[in-house]
Chain A
């Protein structure tokens, strides 16, 4: 499980990079629709997670991470 500090950092980074209000980033919200990601912008999400949190999301697994909660959990689980 991701701790609150990690969640807040993830939300801040995503909000700044994708220029959305941080209030819109909630655990159950859909990542793609909230961040307005098309297939190209998902590449930026993957790169951001790798650069900021040191977690590489394989392309085969990107499609399984639908909500912010699942992203928090994925990052927490795979961080060194």
Chain B
């Protein structure tokens, strides 16, 4: 079986906005979501930069029992998924009667772990961890919560693949649909935003220390980049077979043309050129995309020196002669990590649907590696119908998706 896979719903809870329209406006106007967080500085962080996002109060939407099992990133994911399901036209009656799957990226849940350990050490009584701690602590917390809340009955799976988690979630979901094993899969990624989640990450000097200019700190591909800024939230993408979407009369937003992946088999934190190149090449091969039609590549580029340089080389080697616009939205959002693959599909979809390519925020000067790419320093107002999205993660896990506007 070789079925076409289309996108019928998107929802996002991001530092750029909590609706697709808000996010569109932020991308269009070049509005950054990065702030300086004094709490982190007081805790001894090397960098107190982060994206800003409040935890939603879901008292009206969910019972106490349901909320008890949800860490912050599951709450973000709930909000994104409600919106995505609504846009896809999937109501509870449909979810009750059909085997809708769920594959979501998440690779940490620090706060409930820290709080439980503190209680156990202080009180020597595990009961005081409470009923929610175990369910909040596990990497699969998002899928276990969403699966129960929305009563989903298809595949229920968390992808923990570092910063490529949610790109892989969409790729794997698309593969299941393509092969006829699922008709609809709720895909996405969630990322907690709290100091505990990224303290040890800060400890390896991976973050930008441009604290005097928070909105200029995340500057992918720029010569003067000095590290990433952690971000987060959640993004949900509903994908389904073309037949299913047509049968339901759903609005088809786009089509997943192909997925590529690879593992560097190399250093745990330093990426190489070969792995990302293989992921790109596989996605291009699988999608059979005409590279002349690829107008935009949403890069993984996180604003680290070596990561951006290696990705730039990989993109230039694979796509060089076609010269698509290459930009990373992480200049706006910081690095949304487990969420990034899915959120960047949504950011790119928003641009494609609204006829613009957001600037690579804070890109002022190329360096010897990034000069090979066509990086927009200001917004490009242009229609386009096909894009590629890269997501790479620690351990050398790589994922690339090719997406196009839907045509019969």
A→B interface (CB under 8 Å): 18-19, 36, 38, 40-41, 43-44, 46-47, 50-51, 56
Would B130 and A47 count as touching, CB distance under 8 A? yes
Bound-state Cα–Cα, A51 to B68, Å: 17
Bound-state Cα–Cα, A44 to B127, Å: 8
Would A44 and B130 count as touching, CB distance under 8 A? yes
Bound-state Cα–Cα, A54 to B68, Å: 23
Closest to A50 in B: B128
Number of contacting residues on B, CB 8 A? 12
Inter-chain CB contacts under 8 Å: number: 29
Q: Is B290 an interface position by the 8 A CB rule?
A: no
20 A-B pairs (CB sep. < 8 Å) = A18-B64, A19-B59, A19-B63, A19-B64, A36-B65, A40-B131, A41-B65, A41-B68, A43-B127, A43-B130, A43-B131, A44-B68, A44-B130, A44-B131, A44-B132, A46-B127, A47-B127, A47-B129, A47-B130, A50-B128
- Shortest C-beta distance, B15 to chain A (Å), equals 30
Bound-state Cα–Cα, A19 to B65, Å: 10
Set of chain A residues within 8 Å of B68, measured between Cβ atoms: 40-41, 44
The 0/1 profile, CB within 8 Å of A marked 1, for residues 332-364 of chain B is: 000000000000000000000000000000000
Bound-state Cα–Cα, A46 to B346, Å: 44
Decide if the interface of chain A is mainly helix, strand, loop or mixed: helix
Bound-state Cα–Cα, A50 to B129, Å: 12
- Additional pairs, 14, CB under 8 Å, beyond known A19-B59, A41-B68, A44-B132: A19-B64, A40-B65, A40-B131, A41-B65, A41-B131, A43-B127, A43-B130, A44-B68, A44-B131, A46-B127, A47-B128, A47-B130, A51-B128, A56-B125
Set of chain A residues within 8 Å of B63, measured between Cβ atoms: 19
Closest to A39 in B: B131
Bound-state Cα–Cα, A51 to B119, Å: 11
Set of chain A residues within 8 Å of B131, measured between Cβ atoms: 40-41, 43-44
Bound-state Cα–Cα, A46 to B130, Å: 9
Would A50 and B125 count as touching, CB distance under 8 A? yes
Set of chain A residues within 8 Å of B125, measured between Cβ atoms: 50, 56
Closest to A48 in B: B130
Set of chain A residues within 8 Å of B59, measured between Cβ atoms: 19
Set of chain B residues within 8 Å of A51, measured between Cβ atoms: 128
Set of chain A residues within 8 Å of B64, measured between Cβ atoms: 18-19
- Shortest C-beta distance, B55 to chain A (Å), equals 18
- Shortest C-beta distance, A59 to chain B (Å), equals 8
Bound-state Cα–Cα, A38 to B125, Å: 21
Would you list which residues of chain B between 116 and 162 have a CB under 8 Å from chain A? 125, 127-132
Would you list which residues of chain B between 88 and 141 have a CB under 8 Å from chain A? 125, 127-132
Closest to A57 in B: B127
Bound-state Cα–Cα, A51 to B123, Å: 10
